[in-house]
Amino acid sequence: MFFRKKQNKIISEINKFDKLNIGCGFYFIKGWLNIGIFPKKEIPYGAIRKINGASVFHFDITNEFPMKDSNVRYIYASHFIEHLSFKDGIKLLEKCYCLMENDAVMRLTFPDLELWVKNYYENNISFFEKYKSSIEKENFQAQTKGEIFMSQVHGWGHKWNWDFESMKHILGKIGFRNIEKKEAFDSKILNIKEIEPSEKGRLLETAYVEAIK
């Protein structure tokens, strides 16, 4: 394993953090450990770099994670879990549970399957047009509400879609409690308005779920 050679320094640095931004993409939060996959020429795999004052860790979180259990106070994962298969998504949530201290908070955001189905069923063309206008239009050929819906389900590297009922069911089986569907910027995490993305497309389609260990 990579960490057997340089792991002492890396692990020591990682365990200083009690707030994790998982699957961060290029959205970095200062004061948090931002974890994601990046081009190796920018950040070598397994390395931590400071980018605009934020700590960024290049690591595949679905692999064995070099952090001690019961160490984390807050976990935030915005539009990441839908990029994992159902099985891998459950494994990630189980891992998060182990990493968290008692009474720690996890906030997950993801495309709301229930909302998408509702708008499709009700033929709410306005919803689909607003979504389409909010994303990058280059090479986006979907036109009808069905095409736009399926582009969301199968596009952008998505592997699974979640609704609140399913997420609550899985989180409850793992052991989480106080599982709630929240609104944007309504959170037990401090300074959530400084953390949460506010793009129109995100606000339009997103489910927000919080749970306590």
Tell me the whole-structure pTM to 2 decimals.
0.92
pLDDT > 90? residue 145: yes
Boundary-marking domain end, from 124, 139, 154 = 154
Q: Which residue has the higher pLDDT, 40 or 188?
A: 188
Same domain, 194 and 121: no
- In this structure, what CATH number is given to the domain that contains residue 174? 3.40.50.150
Q: Is the domain of 88 the same as that of 22?
A: yes
Count of the separate structural domains present in the chain: 2
pLDDT of residue 9: 80
- State residue 75's pLDDT score: 98
pLDDT higher than threshold 90 for residue 11: no
> Residues 54, 87: one domain?
yes
Last residue of a domain, one of 154, 173, 204: 154
Domain identity same for 103 and 190: yes
Average pLDDT, the chain: 92
User: In terms of domains, do 85 and 96 share one?
Assistant: yes
Same domain, 147 and 52: no
- Which 3 state secondary structure label does DSSP give 73? strand
pLDDT value at residue 41: 82
- Contact by Cβ (8 Å): 27, 40: no
Same domain, 61 and 128: no
Mean pLDDT of 165-175: 98
| Residue (of 82, 79, 84, 88) closest to 27 by Cα position | 79
What pLDDT does 6 receive? 61
Q: Over range 105-126, report the average pLDDT.
A: 98
- Structural domain for 71, as ranges: 3-112+161-212
**SS3 helix, strand, coil % of the chain, rounded to 5?**
35, 25, 40
What integer pLDDT is reported at residue 141 of this predicted model? Answer: 84
Residues 136 and 188 in one domain: no
User: Which residues, other chains included, contact 86 with Cβ-Cβ below 8 Å and sequence gap of 6+?
Assistant: 159, 160
CA torsion 80-82-86-90 (nearest 10°) is 30
The pLDDT assigned to 201 comes to: 87
Domain boundary among 125, 154, 183: 154
Decide if pLDDT at 140 tops 90: no
Q: With bands split at pLDDT 50, 70 and 90, how would you rate the model's confidence at 12?
A: confident
Give pLDDT, residue 5: 56
Answer with the residue of higher pLDDT: 142 or 88. Answer: 88
* Model pLDDT for residues 32-57, shown as the tens digit of each residue: 999 999 988 888 898 899 999 999 99
Judged against a pLDDT cut of 60, whether residue 4 lies above it is answered with: no
Q: Are residues 88 and 165 in the same domain?
A: yes
pLDDT at 163 over 70: yes
According to DSSP, the residues that pair with 107 across neighbouring strands are 76, 210
Q: Based on the domain organization, do 97 and 137 belong to the same domain?
A: no
> Are 122 and 47 in a shared domain?
no
Do 85 and 148 share a domain, yes or no? no
